[in-house]
Structure 1
């Protein structure tokens, strides 16, 4: 299933969430690749289908065309600083398809490296997250969003990061440790 081209063009800001949720199948994987600026250079069929996109309208577009308004800027700030430093990151992400549906993923984002060791882009695999983790994740993300509300973008990101760091310090863990503890709880 592909979206009409006008839907793909709306994705950068004109799409309103409908409240309809899509779910990845247990065996499905979303795969995308981007350049260093976050422009999509590859998208698999699962990504296109679940995001209601067509390949011709997707390649070359910024990956944030699927950014859901209920995702805190602070999380993306952490993500970008982590991968820009050459490290991998796992993150729970709520995305917005171009038809207004949303879907949750557990994303694994890594830098792509040339044979001579230089970063040339990013690679992300996403799978279905533990359903039992989502209420906990949504609660933390809502706290981050409240701290970010009404602030300019850079200040909002810093405020969200601060809430995230405080929550993780309270829990005595890192973001990765928190992610995996939630995934393990959901598996048991």
Structure 2
């Protein structure tokens, strides 16, 4: 029997402006197949997401995607993973009860002995509060660009921002997580 899990249509519609806090020493861990379907999740993930593991296993990871997240962030994520590279980034996730939580995500491809990607592992930790305050208006700009010109417009806004800061995407997010003012 194949379990299909929850889908994006099962995500909460009643979104609340209530933030859940991840503890400083907590790590959320999940593993997905090549299509983003969850094949493993730890207890901290189930607690923060608000779903039992039995509902999360088989569900697409986007079940917890908050609408405040720009689509370009996930384009960057998937472009890097498909190129067999790791991803770092700030993600606002949606809980089953409509609340949200911020994480600093590290996602990496998992390889077999022939260097073929067989799955993806994501480890998330508490996002730096100063980083979240910096990233919120940037994400709003990216979403606004997406509304008027799609992901390409959003990517152009992000690229221009990074050029102005003279930083690569990775340098930008890692420096933010370290608490550096940019």
Judge conservation of contact 1:105–1:126 (CA < 8 Å) in 2: yes
Judge conservation of contact 1:74–1:159 (CA < 8 Å) in 2: no
CA distance in 2, matches of 1:164, 1:85: 20
Structure 1 residue 94 displacement after superposition: 0.2
Which residue of 62, 70, 73 corresponds with 2:71?
73
Judge conservation of contact 1:133–1:182 (CA < 8 Å) in 2: yes
Aligned with 2:14: secondary structure?
coil
CA distance in 2, matches of 1:13, 1:150: 25
Partner of 2:40: 42
Partner of 2:3: none
Judge conservation of contact 1:92–1:107 (CA < 8 Å) in 2: yes
Q: 1:46 to 1:181 in 2, by over 3 A?
A: same
What are the within-5 Å matches in structure 2 for residues 93-172 of structure 1?
93-149=91-147, 156-172=150-166
Q: 1:31 to 1:95 in 2, by over 3 A?
A: same
The number of residue pairs the alignment matches comes to 176
Partner of 1:181: 175
Q: 1:10 to 1:45 in 2, by over 3 A?
A: same
The answer to which of 162-171 and 28-37 deviates more is 162-171
Structure 1 residue 117 displacement after superposition: 1.0
Judge conservation of contact 1:30–1:47 (CA < 8 Å) in 2: yes
Is 2:57 the counterpart of 1:52?
no
Structure 1 residue 162 displacement after superposition: 1.6
Q: Deviations over 1:98-121 (max 9, x none)?
A: 110100000000001112210011
Aligned CA RMSD, in angstroms, stands at 1.7
* Unaligned 5+ runs, structure 1: 1-7
Structure 1 residue 95 displacement after superposition: 0.4
Q: 1:10 to 1:81 in 2, by over 3 A?
A: closer
Structure 1 residue 9 displacement after superposition: 6.5
Judge conservation of contact 1:24–1:128 (CA < 8 Å) in 2: yes
TM-score by length of 1: 0.88
Aligned with 2:54: secondary structure?
helix
